[in-house]
Amino acid sequence: MPFRSKLPFSRKDIIDHGAREIAQFVNQIITDRRQGKSASLSNGLDLLDLLLSAVDDEGKPFTDQEIKEEALTFVLAGS
């Protein structure tokens, strides 16, 4: 999250630590879902299912990094 360096907080290390923890958590969820270790708790497809099955304009699947960024955008926008 490049915008963190511009925030007027004296304790940016706290924000950096929190951002790393969130990123690790989301990475683990993506890995678990890809490996079939977890499943959606909803009756239909959830956001992660849709992102994992999505493809770009060239028909290539999204990378884990792209999926993580999209998922975090939805979480932060919904806050």
DSSP for 4-55, written as a single string: GGGS--S-HHHHHHHHHHHHHHHHHHHHHHHTTS---SSSS--HHHHHHH-B
Q: How many CB atoms are closer than 10 A to CB 56?
A: 10
Q: Would you list the domain boundaries of the chain?
A: 12-77
pLDDT, position 69: 93
Residues 6-53 have pLDDT tens digits of: 666 667 788 888 889 999 999 999 999 999 888 877 788 889 999 999
